[in-house]
Amino acid sequence: MQTPRLTRLRSRALWLLCAGGLLACQLATPAFAKEGESTYALDDLRTFADVFNQIRQGYVEEIDDSTLLQYAIEGMLSGLDPHSVYLTSDAFDDLQTSTSGEFSGLGLEVGMENGLLRVIAPIDGSPAAEAGVQPGDIILKLDNNPLKGMSLSDAVGKMRGPKGSEIELTIGRSGESQPLTLNLTRDVIKVASVRERWLEDGYAYVRVSQFQKSTGDDVAKALEALKKDHELKGVVLDLRNNPGGVLGASVDVAGLFMRGGEVVYTEGRLPNAGQSYGASDEDITNGAPIVVLINRGSASASEIVAGALQDHGRAIIMGTDSFGKGSVQTVMPISETRAVKLTTALYFTPGGRSIQAAGIVPDIRVDRARVTAIGEEGRISEADLIGHLGNGDGEERRKIEASELQSRDNQLYEALTLLKGVNILGMNRSRPTAATLARQARSDDN
């Protein structure tokens, strides 16, 4: 028989839950409720109150009501999808820090998948990247403590720490029969989102490692700086192991290579979830050919850029299938220090393709491989002969050591080779693009 005190506590908890549920449903009813449906399931709320009371009363360790309710909220969100999470004060700060570009830790973008912590991509130059952590790795343990069942925010919190502190990662990797153990030293992660250089005269390389608020401006500045040295013949845009970031930055970057047109659109249940984002009218490259490199670590915002340029026929996508993170998360503050990050919509490329769980499929598939050139060792040419004649204009043949790039990064080597071929042949895509056809179809439907 329940004591009066427990009965009062149960009634109070049920009243609070019902009141909160009623308020939430009243707010949501105009958007979601269908005629004839109950605004909330009273039986389920009674069950929740019963479970809450049983845990509060009988769990082996005493847990205060506030902690139990926080666990309930976290569990409710974790049951939705890997990207919907409850952000406590520390997690909220981490989210804001990650878009500004500096924090202390290992330098990993991770996500939960079936209760396992999976690596989306290591950040360039970070301790994780230097130690050889790869996209797709499963982090099994941190300092010999299993992560199975741990929330994403708790796992990220354990990986963060002061500069110089050490941590041991036990990871599972496809193709490896046994878990791997890696010892890492935490460091301050300064995410320089854009790097650039000339691969050869006229052929630019732009690496975007993460989409921060200023990434669009940074890419524009990088290309303008390069163009002061040489005329632009082609660009390799490297989005490999780019876990994404700010949506607006991806729209800005794609727009730098387009003359108007749609970059991405979203669809969801909320009235404002359906949005279309367009490019500016100026192509900073003046139509120079572009190759975009992607791989399994290319996710979210990087997939938006690759998909837009592919659908508009503006770039050739090369590499391997991307990650497939095509959902939109909206951060909804519920206090000054806490928020809910909730999946509210899905991304679609201009051609109408959903990125979610499908990713971007490259136009030309090139797997990362170790390549060794054969057949030329020991051979000599006319220019190697003692006393050879000059070529008449005072210049010797330049020996371009392409084999070094080929052996170091075969995907980048193939991208450069393709750009050269495009320039030599003067190729130009004049056919209607997937984006144009899809836009016309949507217009006809309306």
Strand bridging mode 116-122 / 138-142: antiparallel
Query: Do 257 and 290 touch, CB atoms closer than 8 A?
Result: yes
CA dihedral 183, 188, 192, 197 (to 10 degrees): -60
**Out of 126, 325, 327, 341, which one is annotated catalytic?**
325
Calpha distance 413→404 (Å, rounded): 9
For 2-28, letters b (16+ CB in 10 Å) and e give: eeeeeeebbeebbeebbeebeeebeee
154 noted as active-site residue:
no
Query: Do 414 and 405 touch, CB atoms closer than 8 A?
Result: no
Name the residue with tokens 């727009």. 255
**Out of 151, 153, 209, 300, which one is annotated catalytic?**
300
321 noted as active-site residue:
no
Helix (H) or strand (E) holding 86: strand 85-87
Burial (CB < 10 A; 0-12, 13-18, 19+), residue 87, is: buried
Query: Do 339 and 87 touch, CB atoms closer than 8 A?
Result: yes
**Out of 311, 322, 327, 341, which one is annotated catalytic?**
311
89 noted as active-site residue:
no
Calpha distance 112→274 (Å, rounded): 26
Catalytic residues: 300, 311, 325
